[in-house]
Amino acid sequence: MKIHEEVHERIAPEITASLQPVRLELNGEWVSRETAARTHLGDFVRDQCGLTGTHLGCEHGVCGACTVMLDGKPVRSCITFAVACDNKSVRTVEGYEGDPWMARLRSAFSQEHALQCGYCTPGMLATAYDIVRRLPDADEERIRIELSGNLCRCTGYVGIVRAIGSVLEDLKANPIAGAAPAAVSASREQAATPMETFQAAISAAAPAPAGQAAAAASAAPAEHRKGWSHIEDSFTVDFPADRVWAFMGDVEALASCLPGAEVLENDGKTAKGKIGIKFGPISAAFNGSAQLERDEGARTGMLRGAGTDTISQSRARGDIGYRVIALEPGRTRVDITLDHMLQGPLAQFSRSGLVKDFVERMVADFGRNVGARLGGSAILPAASMSVSKTLASILWARIKRLFGG
């Protein structure tokens, strides 16, 4: 006991000194607290604000029980740092008093027996609220896709799906006065729409006629392509554009620059392979195919691929476009566009605002690896791409910038 007291006395001043002020709008009221930089939002609202309706389950962002609304978007409060929510609006399950959409959802959940032990219910209601506000025409399949990131161990989901469907039908027959679901839809990225089967996705990715790859590389952003997310980035290497262009046409060389990627078959136009990704405690191995299109004149290319994780059965589809631009003799920039869609249990990881930061970090690492390969340096192989480690480093960098570190 004495040892514990001595340790507490030694570290208590350090903990107190490391507390950071956080001010956010919580359920319509502004609150200010001092908290440690590592405190997650779920712990913040429960322990420091006394709102215990937000339930913590896996604490890895997997089960969805802790889902709350952050600036109108559902987020996992167990992996969202409270300091990152400074000056933002947070809505927990206690904050829907008088809300007409939530009133209908709560009634429907009761009528359709959509809750049993109730542990998942706060997070399930947050996701359901997002669905009825954002997707007024969602059918049963789309509802199930949207719920894929919220786990329920009791109900079998039938009552939950039926409750959300009944609210959507009720809203069509009895719309809420002054409601504008379209405005909510415009404020956030669309999640995955029902995707074709894996083989159909590959068939749809047939090579485009000559010259169309350049147009594809600068196509309209994915918000104009229903269900897709769009990210743009670039990297620079100190090598001539001709060498970089030739390298970007070698699928196996490109795969060697991406941690966790492995090419199993390659005929120069179509490649089959896999990529390993770790989401915290979850490991995924996407097996699939990709087709490469190139426009020599414009120095643009498009890699179209689709794959399925054999464990979670999550399915991914993506188009990676690139343009090689000579900046000066011996220096080249590669502009990257990524359009992607993810469906299944792992789709929850594509909805965070951190995804853009993760892709930017991944592109930067990829660019460094390309430069290393062009320069003849060895690249240490990685068994998988760790999303959680990368996001953790991004969050830590954000926190240090926030407080002048």
Q: Is the model's pLDDT at 250 over the cut of 80?
A: yes
pLDDT in tens, 36-71: 999 999 999 999 999 999 999 999 988 999 999 999
Confidence of residue 342 (pLDDT cuts 50, 70, 90): confident
In the chain, % of residues over pLDDT 90: 43
Is 7 domain-assigned?
Answer: no
Q: What is the CA radius of gyration of the chain?
A: 24
pLDDT at 265: 87
pLDDT at 131: 95
Query: Is pLDDT larger for residue 352 or for residue 254?
Result: 254
Confidence of residue 173 (pLDDT cuts 50, 70, 90): very high
Domain that holds residue 383: 198-402
pLDDT at 72: 93
Confidence of residue 127 (pLDDT cuts 50, 70, 90): very high
Query: Is pLDDT larger for residue 311 or for residue 401?
Result: 311
pLDDT at 279: 58
In this structure, the answer to whether residues 63 and 85 fall within a common structural domain is yes
Q: Which of 41, 64, 95 is the last residue of a domain?
A: 95
pLDDT at 203: 36
pLDDT at 345: 66
Taking residues 77-88, report their average pLDDT.
95
In this structure, the answer to whether residues 163 and 262 fall within a common structural domain is no
State the burial class of residue 226 (Cβ atoms within 10 Å of its Cβ: 0-12, 13-18, 19+): exposed
The segment with the largest mean pLDDT, out of 222-226, 247-251, 321-325, is 321-325
Query: Is pLDDT larger for residue 95 or for residue 378?
Result: 95
Closest by alpha carbon to 212, among 289, 307, 319, 306? 319
Confidence of residue 349 (pLDDT cuts 50, 70, 90): low
The CATH number of the domain holding residue 155 is 1.10.150.120
The segment with the largest mean pLDDT, out of 99-108, 242-251, 259-268, is 99-108
Query: Is pLDDT larger for residue 385 or for residue 308?
Result: 308
pLDDT at 357: 62
In this structure, the answer to whether residues 127 and 213 fall within a common structural domain is no
pLDDT at 233: 87
Taking residues 130-147, report their average pLDDT.
93
pLDDT at 90: 97
Q: Is the model's pLDDT at 369 over the cut of 60?
A: yes
Q: Which of 135, 158, 186 is the last residue of a domain?
A: 186
In this structure, the answer to whether residues 237 and 358 fall within a common structural domain is yes
Is 324 domain-assigned?
Answer: yes
Is 287 domain-assigned?
Answer: yes
In this structure, the answer to whether residues 247 and 359 fall within a common structural domain is yes
Cβ atoms within 10 Å of 65's Cβ, excluding its own: 26
Is 134 domain-assigned?
Answer: yes
In this structure, the answer to whether residues 111 and 175 fall within a common structural domain is yes
pLDDT at 225: 60
Is 392 domain-assigned?
Answer: yes
For the four alpha carbons of 55, 350, 70 and 190, in that order, the dihedral sign comes to: negative
* Number of domains forming the structure of the chain: 3
Taking residues 359-382, report their average pLDDT.
76
In this structure, the answer to whether residues 284 and 371 fall within a common structural domain is yes
Q: Is the model's pLDDT at 100 over the cut of 70?
A: yes
In this structure, the answer to whether residues 90 and 124 fall within a common structural domain is no
Q: Which of 95, 128, 147 is the last residue of a domain?
A: 95
Taking residues 139-149, report their average pLDDT.
92
Q: SS3 letters for the chain?
A: CHHHHHHHHHHHHHHHHCEEEEEEEECCEEEEEEEECCCEHHHHHHHHCCCCCCCCCCCCCCCCCCEEEECCEEEECCCCEHHHHCCCEEECHHHCCCCHHHHHHHHHHHHCCCCCCCCCHHHHHHHHHHHHHHCCCCCHHHHHHHHHHCCCCCCCCHHHHHHHHHHHHHHHHCCCCCCCHHHHHHCCCCCCCCCCCHHHHHHHCCCCCCCHHHHHHCCCCHHHCCCCEEEEEEEEECCCHHHHHHHHCCHHHHHHCCCCEEEEEECCCEEEEEEEEEECCEEEEEEEEEEEEEECCCCEEEEEEEEEECCCCCEEEEEEEEEEEEEECCEEEEEEEEEEEEECHHHHHHCCCHHHHHHHHHHHHHHHHHHHHHCCCCCCCCCCEEHHHHHHHHHHHHHHHHCCC
In this structure, the answer to whether residues 268 and 345 fall within a common structural domain is yes
The CA-to-CA distance between both ends of the chain, in Å, stands at: 36
